[in-house]
Amino acid sequence: MSCSSDWASFITRLGMGRELPAEPLIPPTLNAILPMIHVGLTQGQIVMLLTKKYPSVKATPGLWSGQSGYMEFILDTRYRLSVSAVGSESPTVNDDFIIYIVDTPAKQRIEIKHYRWK
């Protein structure tokens, strides 16, 4: 079992204190792509990664405040991905980025934070 499938299994078992879901909280196709998202990627580069598994992915404007905000990607009719970024003119993934995975029909959002400590 790979690290990413171990992680997905843990998240599924965790179930956020509720009854275990019938399916993983993070779709396996998206879970395979998430480790490829890293600091400095542009919106276009993320679209290229996502297109491999989500051919109809659409990048849309996200929420911005000054020079920071979110790059938004509509993956399909169910899922949306948001990645925090800097530089409103040519946004790139920022250092301590946050990823949100939104499951619209289930009305739930998963938050993944990249955080470094000393």
- pLDDT band of residue 47 (cuts 50, 70, 90) is very high
Residue 55 within a domain: yes
What's the burial of 65, exposed, middle or buried (CB within 10 Å: 0-12/13-18/19+)?
exposed
34 within 8 A of 26, measured Cβ to Cβ = yes
- pLDDT band of residue 102 (cuts 50, 70, 90) is very high
Question: How do strand 98-103 and strand 58-65 relate by DSSP bridges?
Answer: unpaired
Both structure tokens of 77: 């009719």
Residue 86 within a domain: yes
**Residue 1: helix, strand or coil by DSSP?**
coil
How many domains does one find in the chain?
1
Residue 27 within a domain: no
Residue 21 DSSP symbol = P
**For 1-118, where are the alpha helices, taking DSSP H only?**
3-14, 28-33, 43-51
Residue 12 within a domain: no
Angle value at C-alpha 97, between 96 and 100, nearest 5 degrees: 150
**CA–CA dist 60, 63 (Å, integer):** 10
Residue 106 within a domain: yes
Range of the domain at 66: 36-113
Half-sphere exposure of 20 (CA within 13 A, CB side): 10
At residue 66, does pLDDT exceed 90? no
Residue 7 within a domain: no
Residue 16 within a domain: no
Residue 28 within a domain: no
> Tell me: the pLDDT tens digits for 74-94?
999 999 999 999 997 889 999
